Structure 1
Amino acid sequence: MTAQAWNERDWTAFDVTVADHIAEVVLTGPGKGNAMGPDFWRELPEIFGHIDTDPEVRAVVLTGAGKHFSFGLDLVAMAGTLANVLADNAKAAARTEFLESLRKLQAGITAVADCRKPVVAAVSGWCIGGGVDLICAADVRYASADAKFSIREVKVGMVADVGTLARLPYIIGDGHMRELALTGKDIDAARAEKIGLVNDVADDQDAVLALARATAREIADNPPLVVHGIKDVLDHSRSAAVHDSLRYVAAWNSAFLPSEDLSEAITAVFEKRKPEFKGR
């Protein structure tokens, strides 16, 4: 596929434009709040694979359409991925199939992190669960004043498994990391800036997008091979640790994810009620 062809393609979960050496990738759903369903996970690595190799692109702005960046994993749309491993007495075949599916999800986020073109994220509204996974793969993160963040997986009976636990420790301190991951609490943009999750906070959605575009412009105006070199050197020391963490959590969740609490969490989503966890 030529650069022009991939750029002009009608994506289902994204809008993608390229102009003056900057790609703008916008999450568009189709789930509510740009929730991450099958289309998102299929298209994300393809888009960033093209961006990585397109000589016309030197920097990327990543943002969400509408009021919110992303509500995270679309549990309803992705229920099929979990179905076999959650079945009673799931055996090796079902767990192995889930492991492979999980590694594909991880690969989508890793495609963003490994992209040689720096990625600048502009976050407005909610950034939950998988949304945090995604912005952890960006190089620079900005938020609007109304942004809120949550590593929500613990609230739905899961260990976060597609990137947050591997990458966020390199962005914020260990104590803050553990607090957010273990509680699943929500934090606002001011707290996110204080702990280093975001670089800066802008007044509103238009302002944060303008800030991200300005930073992408500054990056794109620099020598592209030097920019690639900076990313490569910065990523070198931590890439092996991130890779090891992703493999470990994939194996962990393939073995231990099935639980009554997870089934209860998914059922509660369908029934639109608060889950009741019993530690089983």
Structure 2
Amino acid sequence: MTATADSLPDLVSLKVEIDGHVAEVTLLGPSKGNAMGPDFWRELPIVFRALDADPQVRAVVLTGSGKHFSYGLDLPAMMPSWGEMLGGDALAGPRTKFLDEVRTLQASVSSVAECRKPVIAAISGWCIGGGVDVIAAADIRLASADAKFSVREVKVAIVADLGSLQRLAPIIGEGHLRELALTGKDIDAARAEKIGLVNDVHADQDTLLAEARKLAAEIATNPPLVVQGTKNVLSANTERQVADGLRYVSAWNAAFLPSKDLGEAVQAFLERRAPEFKGE
């Protein structure tokens, strides 16, 4: 039986607070910049399924602790287990385990989209890679003026596989998505607002959170079942397409992710230098 928000187990990477009918979920790390390690991927679906099941909760604000939303995937924390699945001449067995791992992470992000309560992402500072996957699964995105975004996976020799490539096209358009995903470039809050990635930009983090809470409270005054039904209808077509795309990219990465370029990307990251990719 799914826990409700007031009976959640002790959490390491997330904090949940409820004020009236609005829940606030804060990324805590524990890695620098709220990087997303094993605890985050385990706890995110627990939290959002609990919020989905809790009749008191009618809207959710999702934000990051400190100055940043999230640096994205915690590569040092995740790579050891991935290396066991993809290292050397990995055959069908370990690659199948990796496929299962990717689909588990996909389901973790999808728990945000599948939550029947509208989710408002409030983004300050950096939002990179997996952070973009998560905010793409939210219903509404707001940013502070210092926010910066990057679909960064291509720069570390990975095809983004947790939802950005599937969810962002209806939000920002195919052309903008291809530009971000193929370059891995950084964009600021003004550009994010211009292309529709965020609805509004606010002067600072405090103002951003106040406005996100205000918007969530406004949503929460409406009939809750009608709000949930509206979200369900809006998501009906897009989430079917997302599910197909997630299945495809997980199989793609299980087959093609292992490469010398990936090893070079990880080594360059650890050595804090620019990688040299050779297409091998």
TM-score with structure 2 setting the length: 0.98
The equivalent residue for 2:103 is 103
Paired with 2:126 and 2:227, the residues of 1 have a C-alpha distance of 31
Alignment of 1:1-280 (within 5 A): 1=3, 3-6=5-8, 9-280=9-280
Residue 5 of structure 1, CA deviation = 1.8
For residues 228-258 of structure 1, the C-alpha deviation after alignment (integer angstroms, 9 at most, x for no partner) is 1100100111121100000000000000000
| Change beyond 3 A, Cα 1:138–1:80 | same
For each residue in 1:64-123, what CA deviation from the matched residue of structure 2 results, as whole angstroms up to 9, or x when unmatched? 000000000000000123212331111000100000000000000000001000000100
Give the 4+ runs in structure 1 shifted more than 4 A.
none
- Residues in 1 aligned to 2:272 and 2:192: alpha-carbon distance in whole angstroms: 29
Q: Give the 3-state SS of the residue equivalent to 2:142 in structure 1.
A: strand
How many Å separate the matches in 2 of 1:2 and 1:57?
10
Asked if 2 retains the 8 angstrom alpha-carbon contact of 1:133 and 1:163, the reply is yes
Q: How many residues align?
A: 278
Is contact 1:29-1:35 (8 Å) kept? yes
User: How far apart in 2 are the matches of 1:167 and 1:81?
Assistant: 27
Deviation at 1:273, TM superposition (A): 1.8
The answer as to whether partners of 1:81 and 1:98 remain within 8 angstroms in 2 is no
Q: CA deviation at 1:272?
A: 2.1
Q: Which runs of 5 or more structure 2 residues have no equivalent in the other structure?
A: none
The alpha-carbon distance between structure 1 residues 96 and 121, as it changes in their structure 2 partners (threshold 3 A), is same
**Unaligned segments of structure 1, at least 5 residues:** none
Query: Structure 1-normalised TM-score?
Result: 0.98
CA drift at 1:19: 1.6
Q: How far, CA to CA, are the matches of 1:121 and 1:56 in structure 2?
A: 20
CA distance in 1, matches of 2:218, 2:253: 41
Question: Matched residues, percent identical?
Answer: 64
Note if contact 2:4-2:50 (Cα within 8 Å) is conserved in structure 1.
no
What is the letter of the counterpart of residue 4 of structure 1? D
Counterparts of 2:72 and 2:261, CA distance in 1 = 19
How has the CA–CA distance of structure 1 residues 146 and 75 changed in structure 2, closer, same or farther, with 3 Å as cutoff?
Answer: same
Code of the aligned partner of 1:5: S
Are the counterparts in 1 of residues 63 and 69 from structure 2 also a CA contact under 8 Å? yes
Post-superposition offset of 1:10: 2.9
For residues 124-147 of structure 1, the C-alpha deviation after alignment (integer angstroms, 9 at most, x for no partner) is 000000000000000000000000
In structure 2, the CA distance between the partners of 1:93 and 1:43, relative to structure 1 (3 Å rule), is same
**C-alpha deviation, 1:15, in angstroms:** 0.9
Contact 1:37 1:77 survives alignment (8 Å): yes
Aligned alpha-carbon RMSD (Å): 0.9
Q: Render the CA deviation track for 1:7-56: whole Å, top value 9, x for unaligned.
A: xx431001111120111000010010000000000000000010000001
Distance 1:146 1:104 in 2: 32
Check whether the contact 1:85–1:258 (CA below 8 A) recurs between aligned residues.
no
